[in-house]
Amino acid sequence: MKKTSTRLADGRELVYYDRRDDTVRDAVDRRPLGPIATHSEIRHDRLLGDRVAVASHRQARTYHPPADECPLCPSRGDRLSEIPDSAYDVVVFENRFPSLAGDSGRCEVVCFTSDHDASFADLTEAQAALVLDAWTDRTAELSHLPAVEQVFCFENRGEEIGVTLGHPHGQIYGYPFTTPRTALMLRSADAHRATTGRNLFDDVLADELADGSRMVLESEHWAAFVPYAAHWPYEIHLYPRRRVPDLLALDDAARTEFPQVYLELLRRFDRIFGDGAPRTPYIAAWHQAPFTGERGEFALHLELFTIRRTSGKLKFLAGSESGMSVFINDVPPEAAAQRLREVAST
């Protein structure tokens, strides 16, 4: 992997990640951009104990542009975009409309490929490996920022999820605090350790492997399953078999095997509702340990889920979910796992 860092016309950082070491990246951002004016504020909810980011400048962000005006495609001729070069492998840049900025953290955009009509599932294993390298490198880089306590790499795909740009891309958030979901996991892990003397994540994985009814895919270094108490109609948790706190700690064997395993899961997701159905909308989320506290108890894992519960029908977060945080799942996890095993792409 070759990494080339540059600056856009308004001063934001942009980083090219290339598979070839002899690739030259010297294109200049020719857009007449003014300085970025963003204001992100983190407010604490005294009742719930969590935090809310207030970022009013995001009202002006790009919304469903036509394909020939996509800001994530390469710049070609007089058509100028966020990426100055005419082609790229993987690109990461600071979001022009960030939810978190300055002392409130950092937000980045990750473009998986220059092909506007592709999806992550269409990538080759070499391309997916480069994305993994980019996620890992950004986790390392953001860990050095004083305002960042936890790094979250994720992808939203599909208009049903709320995606406003159709180009295959994801995001990276550098939070200035430990997120509530992670804090809950850590509290559960602490309680489990105090009660049993064992690691909670290790036991969850071991129990799913032993039961087998919710397993979706197993390989030498990874295991994917639908969790016993899945919140979403189709939800997969992907764990490395050797517990590590974050992407930085993955060994070479797990990194080498990841593209094959992950691409297989994404392709199965697109087959859940039949070959003729539209691509399945999903969220893919890497859970990594915060940079503070006892990191050894946490286990890196990826959670992949869709809000589609059946063909043409979505799972809405209505009264119980939105009002009381009590999920109601219409698809039994064992049935979801069975379906995901049936639609293997090989």
Concatenating the DSSP letter of every residue in 56-122 gives GGGGGS--S--GGG-TTSBPBTTB--SB-SS--SEEEEE-SS-SS-GGG-EEEEEE--S-TT--GGG
Could you say which of 64, 167, 169, 231 is catalytic?
169
Q: Which residues contact 70 (CB under 8 A, 6 or more apart)?
A: 81, 116, 165, 166, 167
CA distance 233 to 307: 7
- Residues 342, 346: Cα–Cα separation, whole Å: 11
Give the C-alpha distances (Å, rounded to integers) separating 25 from 33, 61, 113. Answer: 20, 27, 16
Torsion of CA 251, 253, 259, 263, to 10 degrees: -110
Q: Over the Cα atoms of the chain, what is R_g?
A: 20
**Alpha-carbon distance 267 to 124, whole Å?**
12
Strand partners, 45: none
Number of CB atoms found within 10 A of residue 204's CB: 20
**Residues found in the chain:** 346
Q: How far is it, in rounded angstroms, from Cα 23 to Cα 2?
A: 8
Question: Measured between alpha carbons, how far is 224 from 216 in angstroms, rounded to an integer?
Answer: 5
Give phi and psi for 214, each to the nearest 5: -110, 5
Please, what is the Cα angle at 250 between 249 and 253, to 5 degrees? 145
Closest CA to 200 of 248, 239, 255, 230: 239
Find out whether 48 and 40 touch, Cβ atoms under 8 Å: no
How far is residue 19's CA from residue 283's CA, in Å, rounded to a whole number? Answer: 26
169 in catalytic set: yes
Contact 244, 235 (CB under 8 A): no
- Which residues are known to be catalytic? 169
